[in-house]
Structure 1
Amino acid sequence: MGYWIFSTVIPIAIIAGLLTIKRPSTIRQVSKALNATVLPLATYILLVYFLEIDRYINSGWALYTLIFFSIPYLVLVIILYVIAIWKNGI
């Protein structure tokens, strides 16, 4: 159960929370909002790593899942950013 909480529920809550705070309406704003979620997600991955190293939590493969799924997330953020720049002609 802890695996699902650490690897899916908390990262989705971080992304959803920041998107509801920013409330983006255009693709450029969505790209900026998703860029803003990269730092909290990276901080969360480091937190899970250190808590797992110190044996405060036992989440199994949650850390590796977070790292593995952060790569496609970063690719999508970069693609959205490029599309936003291309649409605005900047």
Structure 2
Amino acid sequence: HPARQLLILKELQILSQRWQVDSIRLENNFAVLGYRDKNHILALSKSNQGRIPVRIVDQKSAYIPLPNSTENVEEVMQELKTVLQQSFDPAYNPAASP
């Protein structure tokens, strides 16, 4: 349903802002997040441990593996929403992690 997809898209935009993610694009079976702040993306990765992995590949990009079929747009958006809805801990300090 187009209206439902627009609603999920808006939710993704709002959730992305909290993590300082500026862009999301699809590349093969991955969602590629373009981000601004390393601490935020590290916190996102940590908050998703044991769930859906967020793989940080460089200073600006992180990859999220998607279900085998990325043809179902709504399924992909729901997967991204699941990742981005994780609680945000602004006090997270990667230097303090063991």
Q: Is TM more than 0.5 here?
A: no
TM-score by length of 2: 0.29
TM-score, normalised to structure 1, is 0.30
| Structure holding more strand per residue | 2
Greater helix proportion? 1
The structure that has the greater radius of gyration is: 1
